[in-house]
Amino acid sequence: MAKRPPKKPIRPERLPFSLANKVDNRIDPKNRLSIPKNRMITDRGLRTKGTQFLLAQTLVGRHRYLVVVPADSAIESLHKKFRSMGIEDSIERGTLVEHYKTAGETVALDGQGRILLPKRFVDVLLRDPKDRGVTITAEGTHLRIWHPEDQKQYADELRKRAARIAEKHRRRTREM
């Protein structure tokens, strides 16, 4: 059997967000949130003042979080995300993308690498005005901003699902 050629290394621009798991952060009293430095920000030069991002509340699933997508690739990223979720109809995908564009807001980085979160989005994240902590996770082409409890619940559910899948395949390989 012929050996497969080694896979080509993925270019950095193909790895937009690459945080190590998650970052705990805080929304300051003026509703600004620092966007962590990561490969996407650095490699694409998106850490400069004025860089724009699309900020929207999640639409799919029962978990509440905000999505932060670089504005220059927002439409393409959202189409890919919806396609990966099994939404093949281009009209349906277009409707969901349009929803994100109209329900979301464009925000820009300031000189310190922060975005100003509109109040309606801050209200989605914060349950107690005194506790302004959030968790930021990287998901391929976008960041997710979570209330820490919601992110923990999501991660726990994901771990349980992964364990069930692994156990199912472990049983299947034993039967062979």
Specify the pLDDT at position 14. 40
Rounded distance, CA 165 to CA 162, Å?
5
Q: Which amino acid is at 42?
A: T
For domain 12-147, give the fold: Chemotaxis protein chec (3.40.1550)
Specify the pLDDT at position 4. 54
Select the more confidently predicted residue: 137 or 11: 137
Q: Can you give the residue ranges of every domain in the chain?
A: 12-147
Which pLDDT band, with edges at 50, 70 and 90, does 8 fall under? very low
Does residue 35 contact residue 109 with C-beta atoms inside 8 Å? yes
Select the more confidently predicted residue: 14 or 53: 53
Does residue 109 contact residue 49 with C-beta atoms inside 8 Å? yes
Specify the pLDDT at position 15. 39
Residue range 32-45: mean pLDDT, rounded: 66
Rounded distance, CA 56 to CA 117, Å?
10
Select the more confidently predicted residue: 95 or 97: 95
How many Cβ atoms from other residues are within 10 Å of residue 69's Cβ? 23
Which pLDDT band, with edges at 50, 70 and 90, does 21 fall under? low
Among the residue ranges 58-62, 70-74, 109-113, 140-144, the one predicted with the least confidence is: 58-62
pTM of the model: 0.72
Specify the pLDDT at position 48. 65
DSSP readout, 55-77?
Answer: EEE--SSS--EEEEEEGGGHHHH
Residue range 108-133: mean pLDDT, rounded: 89
**For residue 29, pLDDT beyond 90:** yes
